[in-house]
Amino acid sequence: MESNNLPGLTPIAVLVLFTALTLLLTAGIPILLAPEPVKVSDWLGFSGAVVGALVTLSAAIIAWRAVQKQIEAQRIIAERQAAIQSYDVLHRLATTLEDELRLALALGEVAHTSSMIDEFRQKWPVDIIAAGLLHARYQDAKDRLRALRNEWAVADTKRWQFRNALEARMNFEEAIVELEQRLNTDTALLLMIKDTDLTDTKKVIERQKIVDKISFLDVAAKVHVARTNYTTAINKEIASLLPKLEEIRSLAKL
C-alpha cells in the first residue's frame, strides 16, 4: 500500500506538535489555574518568549531543509560518479570484445587464404613451377598469421573473463595453432620446391609428389568452424553487454 505522505513533513509535524504541547503546558494550564487575572506585562513577557521560540523553530526548520538538500545533492553526485566508473568498466569490456571479434575474423581470413593451392588445383594442375610461384604468397600468409597471433596474445587475460565464450575460444586457438604449424611446414616445402633443378628429372618427380600432398582444405575448414562458433559466442556477449552499457550511460548522463 502506497503512502501519500510528503517526504520531510514528519520532522516538521513533530516540531509543531512539540511547540503546541509546550504552549499548553507552560501557558495554558497556568492561566487556567491562576488565582488572579493575568497582567498585561505578563502577557507581553510570555509573547516575547513565544516569538523567540518560534523564531528559533523557524531557523531550525530552515537549517534542516538546507541540510537535506545538501545530502540529496551529495547523493546524486555519488551515484553519478559510481555510474561513470561502472560505465568505464563496461566500455572497456565492450572494447575488448570488439577487438577480439576483429582479430578472430582476420585470423579466419588467413585460414581461407591458406587454401589458395587447393583453389588453384581445382582449375589447373599444380606442378613444381606453379608451387614455387605460390611460395611468396604462402610466406605472406605465414607472416600475417604470426602478426595477428602476437596481437591476439596482448592482454590475453582480459578475454578469459568471458566464461561463456571460453570453450569456443580454446577450440579456435587450437585450430589456429594447427594452421600455423601447417603453414610453417608447407611454406618450407614450397621454398625447397621453388629451388628445384628442373633438369634433374628424378628430383622433379619426387618433389611433384610432395606438391600433390600439400593441401589446406581440412585445416581451413576446421578453423572456419571454430571461428564461427567463437564469433557467435562473442556476439552473444556483446548483445548482453550493450543494454547494460546504455543503462549505465544514461545514469552517468554521458
Residue 113 DSSP one-character state: H
Q: Please say whether the dihedral angle defined by the alpha carbons of residues 85, 167, 156 and 147, taken in this order, is positive or negative.
A: negative
Q: Please say whether the dihedral angle defined by the alpha carbons of residues 76, 80, 83 and 89, taken in this order, is positive or negative.
A: negative
Domains assigned to the chain? 94-253 (1.20.120)
Average pLDDT over residues 228-238: 93
pTM: 0.70
Tell me the per-residue pLDDT of 161-192, one tens digit each, with 9 for 90 and over. 677 888 999 999 999 999 999 999 999 999 99
Tell me the per-residue pLDDT of 20-46, one tens digit each, with 9 for 90 and over. 666 555 555 555 555 555 554 555 455
Whose grid coordinates read 552517468? 252
Average pLDDT over residues 208-223: 96
